[in-house]
Amino acid sequence: MKQSLIIALDFPNLIQTEQFLNQFSSEKLAVKVGMELFYQNGPSIISYVKEQGHDVFLDLKLHDIPNTVKKAMTGLAALGADMVNVHAAGGRNMMEAALEGLDSGTAAGKKRPLCIGVTQLTSTSQEQMNLDQNIAGSLEDSVLHYAKLTQQAGLDGVVCSSHEVKTIHERISPEFLTVTPGIRNAGGQTHDQERIATPEQARNFGADAIVVGRAITGAKDPLTAYLDMKAAWEGISC
């Protein structure tokens, strides 16, 4: 899923998902299925999206005791998603267990899904982290801490905001995947996001993939919104 613009399919059901995807005709997409769609539709949404030829990031952000996460990942591995994730705050043992679960659930001869750790949600501000989570220090330090923990556990990368990408690539590895939500067009509505960036900024910071939801799904013309954002992300001037 490197260099992808991943569309967040934040819809309540299959009908709305189909209506949305039908507008993209033969375009091969990278999409994200999150809690809203997965919990209301069930696991069959993953095979549906894969049958349409799209790459899928299953964004369920697992966070539980290691044994529970391991068993859950064994089940998720069988669904055929290309990438899954956990909260890095669950700790190193939990993340190692996630990988064990994925390995045991991946069918022989198939590649295990990429597994990445959520550092600090892009909806979290410096102040919220200090007060609500009672974590002192800078948000960037916390993101870097979680990114290092994620790498030590053997995961493939992290979810972070575009603003932390450069530090993560410099301090951990340029190969360590950085997947960045919180993407908005310049002057676009921020909604509940705190650490936002435009697709151009994300590219300049070196993000490996961007996740875009409402700026595309809520647009009057989602296909045009997608193509414009993709061109900006890829550095193509229209």
Ligand X SMILES: O=c1ccn([C@@H]2O[C@H](COP(=O)(O)O)[C@@H](O)[C@H]2O)c(=O)[nH]1
53 has binding-site annotation: no
Region at 8 (left for phi over 0; alpha for psi -120 to 50; beta for the rest):
beta
CB of 108 to ligand X, least distance (A): 32
Contact (Cβ atoms closer than 8 angstroms) between residue 176 and residue 155:
no
Distances (CA, A) of 154 to 28, 84, 98, 116, 172: 30, 14, 10, 9, 12
63 has binding-site annotation: yes
Task: Please identify, using beta-carbon distances, which residue of 98 and 159 lies nearer to ligand X.
Answer: 159
Binding segment for ligand X among 19-27, 68-76, 146-154, 210-218 (CB under 6 A)? 210-218
> How many CB atoms lie under 10 A from the CB of residue 65?
12
CA distance 124 to 108: 39
**One residue of 5, 159, 177, 232 binding ligand X per CB under 6 A:** 159
Per annotation, catalytic residue among 50, 61, 71, 166:
61
Q: Which of 62, 63, 110, 101 is nearest to 82 (CA)?
A: 110
**One residue of 50, 145, 148, 214 binding ligand X per CB under 6 A:** 214
CB of 109 to ligand X, least distance (A): 31
Contact (Cβ atoms closer than 8 angstroms) between residue 209 and residue 179:
yes
223 has binding-site annotation: no
If one asks whether residue 34 binds ligand X (CB under 6 A), the answer comes out as: yes
228 is annotated as an active-site residue: no
- Residues between 95 and 124 with contacts to ligand X, criterion CB under 6 A: 118, 121-122
The token pair at 151 is 């790498």
Region at 134 (left for phi over 0; alpha for psi -120 to 50; beta for the rest):
left
3-state secondary structure of 169: helix
82 is annotated as an active-site residue: no
113 has binding-site annotation: no
59 is annotated as an active-site residue: yes
**One residue of 66, 101, 181, 199 binding ligand X per CB under 6 A:** 181
The residue ranges that bind ligand X (CB under 6 A) are: 8, 10, 34, 59, 118, 121-122, 159, 181-182, 191, 193, 211-215
Annotated binding site for substrate: 10, 32, 59-68, 122, 184, 193, 213-214
Q: Which residues are catalytic?
A: 59, 61, 64
